[in-house]
Amino acid sequence: MPVSIFNSSVFNARGLAAVTLFSLLPLAPAAAEPRHAIAMHGDPAYADGFSHFRYANPDAPKGGRFTQGIIGTFDSLNPLIVRGNAFQFVRNFVIESLLARGSDEPFTLYGLIAEKVDTDDERTFVTFYLNPRARFSDGKPVTPDDVLFSWQLLRDKGRPNHRGYYSKVTRASIAGERGVRFDLARESDGSYDRELPLILGLMPILPKHAIDAAKFDDTSLLPPLGSGPYRITEVRAGESVTMRRDPDYWGRELPVNRGHYNFDELRYDFFRDANTWFEAFKRGQYDVRFETDPGRWSDQYDFPAAKSGGLIRETIASGQPKPFSAFVFNTRRPPFDDIRVREALIELFDFEWANVNLFHGAYQRTGSFYEGSELSVRGKAADARERELLKAFASEVSVGVMEGTYNPPISDGSGRDRARLKRALDLLAAAGYELKGGKMLSRKTGEQLTFEIMVALKDDERLALAYQSMLRRAGIAMRVRYIDGAQFERRRQTYEFEMMPYIWQQSLSPGNEQAFYFGAQAAELPGTRNYMGAKSPAIDALITSLLTARKREDFVSAVRALDRVLLSGMYAVPLFHLPGQWIARWPSIQRPDRPSLYGTVVESWWRSGANPAKVPQ
The DSSP secondary structure of 272-333, one letter per residue, reads SSHHHHHHHHHTTSSSEEEE--HHHHHHSS--HHHHHTT-EEEEE---SPPPEEEEEE-TTS
The H or E element containing residue 427 is helix 418-430
Q: Are 311 and 584 in contact (CB under 8 A)?
A: yes
Residue 558 lies in a domain: yes
C-beta contacts of 542-545 below 8 A and 24+ residues apart: 542/389, 543/514, 543/515, 543/518, 543/519, 544/187, 544/188, 544/189, 545/389
In which domain, by residue range, is 472 found?
324-577
Residue 451 lies in a domain: yes
Model confidence over 380-395: pLDDT tens digits? 999 999 999 999 999 9
Task: Residue 529: give its domain's CATH number.
Answer: 3.10.105.10
CA 520 to chain centre: 19
Residue 439 lies in a domain: yes
Q: Are 13 and 167 in contact (CB under 8 A)?
A: yes
Residue 219 lies in a domain: no
Tell me the C-alpha distance between 295 and 354, whole Å: 12
Which stretches in the chain have pLDDT values below 50? 1-9, 11, 13-31, 612-617
How confident is the model at residue 229, as a pLDDT? Answer: 98
Model confidence over 203-231: pLDDT tens digits? 999 999 999 999 999 999 999 999 999 99
Residue 450 lies in a domain: yes
Tell me the C-alpha distance between 510 and 490, whole Å: 27
Note the pTM of the prediction, 2 decimals.
0.78
C-beta contacts of 517-520 below 8 A and 24+ residues apart: 518/543, 518/562, 518/566, 519/543
Tell me the C-alpha distance between 154 and 167, whole Å: 10
Q: How many residues does the chain have?
A: 617
User: CB neighbours of 162 closer than 8 A, spacing ≥ 6?
Assistant: 80, 154, 155, 203
* Number of domains into which the chain is organized: 1
Residue 456 lies in a domain: yes
Residue type, 87: F
Residue 560 lies in a domain: yes
Parallel/antiparallel/unpaired status of strands 477-482 and 450-455: parallel
CA 430 to chain centre: 37
CA angle 103, 508, 82 (to 5 degrees): 85
CA proximity to 370, closest of 467, 514, 236 = 514
DSSP class of 447: -
Other CB atoms within a 10 A radius of the CB of residue 268 amount to 19
Burial 270-309 (b: 16+ CB within 10 A, else e): bbeebeebbebbbebebbbbebbbbebbeeebebebbeeb
Tell me the C-alpha distance between 374 and 385, whole Å: 15
Other CB atoms within a 10 A radius of the CB of residue 494 amount to 11
Tell me the C-alpha distance between 268 and 512, whole Å: 30
Residue 60 lies in a domain: no
